[in-house]
Structures are given as structure tokens and as C-alpha cells.
Amino acid sequence: MWPSSSSTGAPFLFVKKEDGGLRLCVNYRKLNSVTRKNKYPVPPMNQALNVFNGSSIFSKIDLCGAYTLLRIKEGDEHLTAFRTKYGSYEYLVMPFGLTNSPSSFQNLVNDIFHDILDFYVVVYLDDIMVFSKSEEEHVTHVSTFLSRLRAKNLFSKPSKFLFHVCSVEYLGYIVYSEGLKMEQAKFPQILNWPPPRNLKALQSFLAFAHFYCCFINNYSKKISPLTSFLKKDSCFHLNEEALTKIVDTNASNYALGAVLSQVTDSGKHPIEFNSRKGIPEELNFENHDKKLVGIVWALKH
């Protein structure tokens, strides 16, 4: 980038990256709304994940720079201007956030690897995998791949390069010799997902769940009570009565007790307490029978 004298200027902010660095993110919403769209297709994720059949050795590559490998058309740089307290700046290369960045970059990498795509290389934007059925084959495949990068003056990030592994994370899944499986880190995220309180929250959960629908038998049937709320004119509202409720019971040698609690985003909260003195017949029961009496009494109450 370089200093800009453009009369326009988009807002920006910094987002922290996984490696601790900062990513400059410019809000190009207004520019994107008037940009003629590049129709070059970015492949659906399921297509990128369906090419590993029989493969057992993998290498994962993340290209340095990604979108910034593409030069903006000369004369159009001023359109990317953004303003800081130190002045305005504009990009000479394709920045993150432009509507045509993904499709333009996909076009670039597909052209470079067009004759080996899906044979032993799969490309989804800047996430690239080399896959093979044997170790000997993999050495040849990776060598060919790296030669292509060198010929085009493209480079990989050493910190994100995984070479010659039996399983690897790719596009949110674990790829290994037997196919695909979920990342273990996703399980707590699903189990601890807060109940959706409105339609937008419901749509967010369904989008996340659909990403892993291939692992769930009869997924559409199981999710239908929730998807029915997406229909036009349907009403979705999770009120207090719809929240999960828990009944805790106990019994002693003298009495029965129960607590009705409601589960909210902040935890379990008691909403009603009840107890009664045990009748003579119950006091003669064994301890486990007393507890069963307490459960039956609490649920009837």
C-alpha cells in the first residue's frame, strides 16, 4: 500500500490472529455494494472434501500473502482507500474484505494447479492439501507441487506447513485414511451452545449444526422441529416457560424434599422449593426406596 489522496475512505480495525499477530480489516461494504461481481466459482466445501478416497498421507500448505498475491488494476487503487489518524492509504494489491477477492484468488490457484487438481492436490482458497496413497508417491507429489510454487514465486508459511502426516485438520474436519471425522474441540462448543432466544440465534445454531450433518443419521428428520420455525409467518420465541427445568429430590429418615430449577444462560436457578414430613410407612422403607418415593412425590406435585 501507499499514501492516498482519494476523496473516499473506508473505516478499519485490527483483528488479532491465532499466531498473536494483527490482521488489518477494512470495511468495504459500500464499495462491495457497487462492485461488479466476479462469477468465478469457489468450490463448495463438500466437493473439496470428497477427493481423499483411499489416501493415507497428507501435507497441508498455507500460502503466504493469499489475496495480496493479486495486483489491483492500475488506476483503481484509490477505490481501496481507508483512513487512519496518520492519513489515508490505499492498496496496490487485493486486500481481505473485497467482494471479488475470494473468486479472483481461487481463479489464480486453479490456473497454477489445473492439471493436478483433485488428482493429488485440492485447493480451497488459500487452504491447500497434497494427498497420496503411499509414502513414495507422496514425495513425488509434494516435490511437483513445490516446484509449481517456486516457478510462480509463491511461498508457504513455515508455521502452517504440515508435511507427511497421517491425519490433518482441513476446512473444519479431521482428514485421515478412513475418511473424515469431527474435530474434538467442536464437541464442547455444541454441547454448551446456549438455547436460541430468537430467530437469528436459531439460524446461527442450524448453520453450525448443518456443517456436521454428514455425521448424523436422519439429520433432516431430527432437526425438523427447529427448521419448521424458519417458514414464513412462523413465530419463534423462547420464553421462560420453554427453558429446561430440573427437579432435584432427596429423602431422609424424617422427610422428603424437592427443588425445581430452571436452566438459563447463566446457570441453574431454583424457582420453587417443597418438602413434607414422611409418613410412618415410608419411614420403614430402605434408603433407595425412600428416594424413589421422593421422586414420585415431587413429579406428582
Tell me the domain boundaries of the chain.
2-182, 187-230, 241-300
Q: How far is residue 300 from each of residues 7, 278, 295, measured CA to CA in Å? A: 73, 16, 9
Tell me what pLDDT residue 23 has: 86
Tell me what pLDDT residue 242 has: 63
Q: Judge whether 2-182 and 241-300 match in fold.
A: no
The three cell numbers of residue 222 are: 431430527
Please give the Cα distance from 270 to 250 (Å, whole number).
Answer: 15
Average pLDDT taken over every residue of the chain: 88
Please give the Cα distance from 170 to 166 (Å, whole number).
Answer: 13
pLDDT digits (tens, 9 = 90+) for 1-57: 899 999 889 999 998 887 788 888 999 999 999 999 999 999 888 888 889 988 999
CB atoms closer than 10 angstroms to residue 175: 23
CATH topology of domain 241-300: Ubiquitin-like (UB roll) (3.10.20)
Identity of the amino acid at 237: H
Residues 127 and 98 sit within 8 Å (Cβ to Cβ): no
Q: Are strands 173-176 and 255-264 parallel, antiparallel or unpaired?
A: unpaired
Please give the Cα distance from 81 to 89 (Å, whole number).
Answer: 5
Q: Which residues on neighbouring strands pair with residue 263, listed in sequence order? A: 268
Tell me what pLDDT residue 58 has: 96
Residues 23 and 15 sit within 8 Å (Cβ to Cβ): yes
Residue segments in the chain with a per-residue pLDDT below the cut of 70: 237-243, 265
**Count of residues in the chain:** 301
> Residue 243: how many CA atoms within 13 Å on its side-chain side?
17
Residue 117, Cβ density class (10 Å: 0-12 exposed, 13-18 middle, ≥19 buried)? middle
CATH of the structural domain 2-182, one choice from 3.30.70.270, 3.30.43.10, 3.30.390.50, 1.20.1560.10: 3.30.70.270
Cell 432435584 sits on residue:
248
Tell me what pLDDT residue 230 has: 84
pTM: 0.70
Helix locations, 84-169, DSSP H: 101-112, 135-151
Nearest to 40 by CA among 113, 101, 116: 101
